[in-house]
Amino acid sequence: MEKIIIEPVWFDSLGAKSSCTLVKTPDVKILIDPGIAAMQPSFPASAEKKREWHEEGRKAIKRASKEADIIIISHYHYDHYFPTDLGIYKDKIILAKNPNEYINDSQRARATSFYSGICEAYGKTNLESLLKTKRGGKKYPDPLADLPIARHKNFGDYNKRRAELLEKGKRWFDGRVANWLKNQEIPELNFPSLKTIYPESKEFKVGKTRLRFSNAMFHGIEFSRVGWVFYTIVEHETEKFIHSSDLNGPVIEDYAQQIISENPQVLILDGPMTYMFGYLLNRINLNRAVENAAEIVRSIDAELILYDHHLPRERKFRERTEKVWNAAKEEKKKVMTAAEFLGKEPVVLSAYRVAE
């Protein structure tokens, strides 16, 4: 692409959890998901080294924030936004995940704390004074109705267990709906040096640049208890970029088809949490994530796919997602981690050799 410039700011392959990306067009500069978290205990490096990478990434994100006009927060996990270091948001428009619906309880609590801090720092007021009484009676349809491919997919012997999990997930979803309806509403904020907007399913134009946002999507599998995210599409004339946030593969087939139908020239795609394999990730869902990513690689005309975040947190990430890399080779597509894009080796590989 010539008009849309993509700069990976920090990603997991550089040594700390993040998918922060700076996007530049002739009209606007956009920072997506400016957050960072240290690697998990199982990561093959010392605590001191993890802190070093975390601090290096935090400084890189703060530098990038100074360039941005718009900051996008796809969800309220700490590796996707700065919860307390609020200086990065000064004089910005924040397009952030709606904290009032399609959100789990922990992210609602984090969002409340975040907007409380924003109100105090930028509005010289308290959030409680701005909360709105919830509108009553809104209906929330079964999310599976929008996932016909995943809903009708045949998993063989796993079908019965999957049906049980989906039914349990639906009950969990209904509980979240009850919370959304009773909680007071956190409004969009408009202060002299900061504005917040909830962008799901909306479109915005800045000059010739279009920003489009998906609806709320599961962070991983159907009814993922981790919550919901949205993905971001940046377009300028004939060029298109997608930052897909935390779809974990994507695991869900319908999400993969959405990305394929968009056919971006550049795609940032997170991978399955292979470091959680056998714990929070089973073989069925790992296979789904790998097949879906491979199908995306085969089907879109991308000049670049950055396949990172969640994925390079353990040394066998290539082995566990081999079909994706093979598809890239067969199709002569450029698929790589952010570290490789920057001319470096993924830290997990070099760190593992040192640990040995």
CA-based nearest residue to 17, from 266, 275, 263: 275
Q: For strand 203-206 and strand 190-191, is the pairing parallel, antiparallel, or unpaired?
A: unpaired
Cα 43 from Cα 15, distance rounded (Å): 9
Question: Structure tokens of 181?
Answer: 């309806």
Please report the pLDDT score of residue 346 as a whole number: 97
Cα 314 from Cα 286, distance rounded (Å): 15
Domains and CATH numbers, the chain: 5-355 (3.60.15.10)
How does pLDDT run across 61-97, given as a tens digit for each residue? Answer: 999 999 999 999 999 999 999 999 999 999 999 999 9
Let me know: does 280 contact 262? Beta carbons within 8 Å.
no
Please report the pLDDT score of residue 280 as a whole number: 87
Please report the pLDDT score of residue 354 as a whole number: 67
Please report the pLDDT score of residue 47 as a whole number: 95
Please report the pLDDT score of residue 135 as a whole number: 64
Please report the pLDDT score of residue 355 as a whole number: 59
CA angle 118, 121, 125 (to 5 degrees): 80
Q: For the full predicted model, state whether its pTM sits above 0.95.
A: yes
How does pLDDT run across 7-62, given as a tens digit for each residue? Answer: 999 999 999 999 999 999 999 999 999 999 999 999 999 999 999 999 999 999 99
Cα 346 from Cα 356, distance rounded (Å): 16
Cα 185 from Cα 173, distance rounded (Å): 19
Intervals of the chain under pLDDT 50: none
